[in-house]
Chains A and B, each alone.
Chain A
Amino acid sequence: MKRTVQVNLSGQVFTIDEDAYEVLSAYLKRIASLYDRSAGKDEILSDIESRIAELLIERKGESKEVVTIEDVAAVTAIMGNPEQFEDDSMDDTEESYRTNYSSDSSKKRLYRDSDNGIIGGVCSGIAYYFGIDPVWIRLFFGLSFIFFGSGVIFYILLWIIIPEARSASEKLNMKGEPVNIGSIGKTIEKEIGSLGEKISNSGNNFSRTSGRKIERGIDRLAHFLAEIFRGIFKVLGKVLGAIFLMIGTFTIIFMIAGIIGVADVIHFDSNDWSSSMNIYEWGDIVFTSGTWLLSAIVGFILLVGVPFLALAYGGVKLLFPRFKVPYLGASFFGLWFIGLVLSIMTAFSIGQEFSKEEKVVKTVVLSDRGLIADTINLNVGHDPFGISTNRAYYANNDFMMKVDNRRIIVGNVEFDIQQSSYSQVKLEVKKSAQAESNEEAGIRADSIQYNFSMDSSSITFDPFFSYPQMHLLRDQEVRLTLKIPVGQVVYLDPSIKRVMDDIQNVTDMFDPKMVSHYWIMNSEGLTCLDCKEGRDNEDEISIDVDNMSIDVRIK
């Protein structure tokens, strides 16, 4: 069953199949577009319509049956390919030659023939393309299924790549019927016509046409392969384009969110704190001025963002080849280069700020202050800023907070125990900072606040040191070194874990495992007094302490 439509050609009414109407209407539109600019467009069109009407009446006789797609194809073949009408003197011959050539090459296209196909119509479509019986193509694919198996993948690939012939004109294109071809359609007809006719021609003529036929076959094979490759690259290109566009877009969105959004989300004031600072806060305590901060941010955005923007643009170009923004490539490069320069300048400026380091070392003789116990309990007190112990332990980074309306930066101290050559117990507090000059670095180091407290048998360390925010983040450090003489026993309270920094001991035990034990300083170094044997599997030496006798075993 087919739908039909009624058309009026020069006053003549025709009942025409819908697919035939489509073809005819496309044909007339092509003529119209070709003569769009010439004065006689309407006249030419109406004359041609009138002639088409005559030809259709001729074909159908007086009965006026329904006009089919075959009728339209035949009539348009007689009328010819609109590009061939060009006799206008305004066209130079070079141009019309090229037009003819290009229409010649587009006479047949590769489509899947879903009407006559068995699976996807791939074989049938290819057969039409080469003008041979689909049986041969199917046989080839059938054999490749059996012998290679790879034929299956190839078939599926072709199924995906080759478009299905849906519309009437696509079907005609697939079959190579002259939807828009005049003389060439006839030439094909002639050449594909029976061999006997050709033999009856002169021998000279025969050899020429058969030679041309081979040429045509090779040409068509090349076309076929080119169409397949074009299809593959088209699909790959689109997939790649989509991936590029996605990566580029998402990265830029995340970057913008990171720079603008996060700053608002994790915003802290008063005594709240965050273990990670957002970019503004970090920038605020790193850069000497807002200008440098801005330069760093802009530099970073351009240096990192522009390549992703370019990636997204590349993706769009792959997806829509016609999409083009003039000078965008050059602009991308220019912006990226500016970003690079800004970043280098900022890095250089910051580098200068860290070029000099100064240390302020203060040694306190604890024994003189009343620390006389045989066993010293070492512990870490409550943090003065009310910071959650657990989180602060894991947060190795410095952070910023507000105390009494003063903004301060807080950092973690490092604690070590060493052997002292003196008989006294001493605590060395080493504060260090960096700056452009030694003088400035000294001022910074000096301004670091650190407290600890003690009584006769214990030392309680503050876990943090602090310094004013105006001194900026300049690698400020506080390193505590407890120097104890040989024979001194210390107990490492679990709370000290958070400040311990690679305390050397004879068993090479890791810091976190050292706590909750008694340790004695002897001539070799810190030795555990109450560690259980075999606790530390990674060590080859095991120490067993039993009633004051020390048993050292080597496994």
Chain B
Amino acid sequence: MNIENSKAQLRKGILEFCALALLQKEEAYPSDLLNSLKDAELIVVEGTLYPLLSRLKNAGLLTYRWEESKSGPPRKYYSLTEQGRMFYGELVSSWEELRNAVDKLVLENQPPKEK
């Protein structure tokens, strides 16, 4: 059993949620998102983000607008749609429940010696 793999599986599950969380505050283009996600160590390879954004956009949760850039290719600025906001809201409450449940479970089953 590979620990890196398990970690990656955990991260993958919440990546979608986190991307929505970042966009819920303000619109952003992928490089912004990548910086935030990398800082949070939620993403390892950048390529992962693009299929995810494409999927969310196709599901009607995201929309984007083009903006010219002085120093590179034009940028796609993503923002949440109304549907995306509702979706995110549901995920937030679901996350709260899940986090409490997991925390509780882990705490209860913690070995006594652990810090």
Contact = CB atoms under 8 A, between A and B. Distances in A.
Contact of B58 (A12, A39, A62, A81): A39
Interface residues of A, number: 36
Contacts of A247: none
A48 to B, nearest CB: 5
Nearest to B15: A87
Contacts of A305: none
A81 B48 CA distance: 9
B51 A51 contact: no
B83 interface: no
Contacts of A85: 45, 47-48, 50-51
Contacts of A79: 45-47
A88 B55 contact: yes
Interface in B27-80: 30-31, 44-48, 50-55, 57-58, 71-76
Nearest to B43: A80
Interface residues of B, number: 28
A183 B45 contact: yes
B9 interface: yes
B96 interface: no
A133 to B, nearest CB: 29
A540 B31 CA distance: 111
A78 interface: yes
B51 A10 contact: no
A9 B73 contact: yes
A47 B54 CA distance: 9
Given A84-B45, A182-B44, A183-B45, A48 B50 contact: yes
B44 A183 contact: yes
A35 interface: yes
A484 B101 CA distance: 124
A186 B16 CA distance: 24
Given A51-B30, A87-B15, A87-B16, A11 B51 contact: no
A50 B45 contact: no
A40 B51 contact: yes
Nearest to A56: B72
Contacts of A182: 44-45, 47
B108 interface: no
Given A80-B45, A84-B45, A85-B45, A44 B73 contact: no
Nearest to A43: B54
B73 A47 contact: no
Contacts of B30: 47, 51
A110 to B, nearest CB: 24
B54 A51 contact: no
A11 B45 contact: no
Nearest to A77: B45
A53 interface: yes
Contacts, number: 92
Contacts of A47: 30, 50, 53-54, 76
A47 B30 CA distance: 9
B72 to A, nearest CB: 5
Contact of B45 (A53, A78, A88, A97): A78
A153 B52 CA distance: 54
Contacts of B73: 9-12, 50, 53-54
Contact of A51 (B5, B46, B58, B71): B46
B47 A82 contact: yes
Given A11-B74, A54-B73, A183-B4, A87 B51 contact: yes
A100 interface: yes
B12 interface: yes
Contacts of A80: 44-48
Interface in A159-195: 182-183, 186-187
Interface in A59-108: 62, 78-82, 84-88, 93, 97, 100
Contact of A84 (B31, B47, B50, B53): B47
Contacts of A390: none
The 3 closest A-B pairs by CB, nearest first: A80-B45, A182-B45, A40-B54
Given A44-B54, A84-B48, 19 more contacts: A9-B73, A43-B57, A44-B51, A47-B30, A48-B47, A51-B30, A51-B31, A51-B50, A53-B73, A54-B73, A57-B72, A78-B45, A78-B46, A82-B47, A84-B47, A85-B50, A88-B55, A93-B9, A183-B44
Interface of A: 9-12, 31, 35, 38-40, 43-44, 47-48, 50-51, 53-54, 57, 62, 78-82, 84-88, 93, 97, 100, 182-183, 186-187
Interface of B: 4-5, 8-9, 12, 15-16, 30-31, 44-48, 50-55, 57-58, 71-76
